[in-house]
Every structure is written in C-alpha cells, then in structure tokens.
Copies of this chain bind each other. A is one copy, B any other.
Amino acid sequence: MKLKYGIIGTGALGGFYGGMLAHAGNDVHFLFHRDYDFVCKNGLKVDSVLGDFILENVNAYNDTKEMPKCDVVLVCLKTTNNNKLKELLPPLLHSKTIVILVQNGLNIERDLSVSFPNLSIAGALAFICSNKKSPGHVVHLDYGKITIGEFQNVDQNILNQICSDFNKAKIPAEISPNLKESRWKKLVWNIPYNGLCVVLNTTTEKLMGNPKTYILVRDLMFEVIRAAEACGVHIDKGFVQKMLDSTRLMKPYAPSMKLDFDFKRPLEIHAIYSAPLEEAKKNGFDMAKVNMLEKELFFIQNSYL
C-alpha cells in the first residue's frame, strides 16, 4: 500500500521533508499559506546538501478543505499556530489517519488529543538545519534525521512504513520507543540555544566561543536534565557534553527561534519554555534559569509583537 501524505505548513521543515518524499515518488499533498500562488506557478525549489531539485506540478493547496483524505499528516507548523489545527485537520482525516507533529516543545501531542481524543497521534523530532530562503524555496544546510514516537493509537505497521518511505527518500528516520524522553532530550539543546540566541542576539557559534556563555549553556542543559529526571525521564549526564561538542562542530547556524525573532514572528515560548517549566513544577522541580530565560523572551517578543 502506498501512503498518501499531507503536509501542513510548507516551510523550512515541511518543504524539505515533504519535498524529499515527493521527489522520491511518494504521493504528497502540501498546504501552503502565503507561498501558494508562487509555488503553483514556479514549483517548490529545494537546495539540499543531498542534491538540489525543483519539484514541478506540486500538489499544492491553500485550504485543507480542498485536500484529499491522507494516511499520514505531517504537521510542520510553528507550535504558535497549533490552535488552528482544530479547524485545519478534520478535512484530511479518515478513520486511520496518523497525525505526526514535527515540532519542538513539550506536551503538544497532549494538547492536540484534547480536541481529537481518538485520533492516532505521534510526535517527531527533526534534527536538521534548514531554512526557508524565499517563497517556495527551501535550503537544507546539514543533518536531517527524523525521530518519530507514538503518543496514542498508533499502528506500528504504518509507523514502520513511514520510516521506510523516509529512508528511501534519503532521510534517516527512526522510531523512538519513548516520545517523552525524545522530547526532553531535544529540549536539552533547544532551551539554551534558542533562547540565548534571541536574548543575546547572537549565534550558537558565538555562545560556544565565549567562556561565560559556554558555561551558561552547559548549566541550562544540566537544569533541563534535572527537570526531566523529576518528570520521570532519565537522561545520562554525558549527553550534555555530547550536545556541546556536536554544536561546536556544527556549521554556524541560527536556531529557528532566532530566525523568528529576526523576522519579527511569534516565538515558540509556550511549547519550548512554559510547558516544560509547568511540567517540572508540577513534579516539584523549579528550573530557575529556564524560568528567567522564558521571562526575558516574553519581554522581547512583547517589544515587537
């Protein structure tokens, strides 16, 4: 059986993952917003370290009501738009559709399940450097692995087939046996780098090159690990050094929140900061530094939004 894919939010992530799947011959249907007219006329351009291509004749839509029912829906929106899912998703759903939130942050699947209690829901972590350069033009700079984990009612066979489709499309994909753990591990990176790059208006490279902020990044990572522990997720302390080292080896890269800040878009403060803070607090742990970072980010966002 060939799976029908729906991509909700065709930006840096959706454009790349959906584009790669379509380029490999999968049946992919894309929801566009501002780029709709441009893509209908010019196609979707993907510049990737894996090879550049232009996808002509894109199955492009600007309204989910026009889209077919899909077997797999990849939600690649910013979490700041997740309040729209209640309206966007229903036209795409049949009784076995799996919805995968390819997003950062914590408890976003839980929030979705409140509106869709019986839906098959998974979460995915994208380990990728990619940006949307201009309308209908995505640039993939480095990495690309996607990790998918069940939240509720997921058919393992479909999950396996999705991974297989990704792999055939040259995207390393794996199944996480523990979505909660995967999300916390991603936060170990996201929390320090996203926030500090915005607050200090800088890059990961400069944060790592300054001995004071190097320590601050490390301390924030340890704080996240202690919070995860309080929430029942054990992450080995050695993971911190691994993250620090791999970030130092990364090409200079602006985290997604820094790009949102530069383009004066809403920041994903709730999913990446407030939700983990709340979860940790509920379990008796106060992330003092993360709390401060959250409040600094709210102040900064408030100054332009």
Contact = CB atoms under 8 A, between A and B. Distances in A.
Interface of A: 196, 199-200, 202, 207, 210, 212-213, 215-216, 219-220, 223, 288-289, 291-296, 298-300, 302-303
Contacts of A295: 212-213, 215-216
How many of these chains are in the complex?
2
Q: Which 5 A-B pairs have the closest CB atoms?
A: A288-B288, A212-B298, A216-B295, A212-B295, A289-B292
A210 B199 CA distance: 16
B289 A216 contact: no
A195 B220 CA distance: 19
A41 to B, nearest CB: 42
Contact of A213 (B220, B291, B299): B299
B296 A200 contact: yes
29 contacts: A196-B296, A199-B199, A199-B200, A199-B296, A200-B299, A200-B300, A202-B303, A207-B299, A210-B298, A210-B302, A212-B295, A212-B298, A212-B299, A212-B302, A213-B295, A213-B296, A213-B298, A213-B299, A215-B295, A216-B292, A216-B296, A219-B291, A219-B292, A220-B292, A288-B289, A289-B291, A289-B292, A292-B292, A292-B293
Contacts of A303: 202
Given A212-B302, A216-B295, 15 more contacts: A199-B296, A200-B296, A202-B303, A210-B298, A210-B299, A212-B294, A212-B295, A212-B299, A213-B295, A213-B298, A213-B299, A216-B296, A219-B292, A288-B288, A289-B289
Contacts of A212: 294-295, 298-299, 302
Contacts of A220: 292
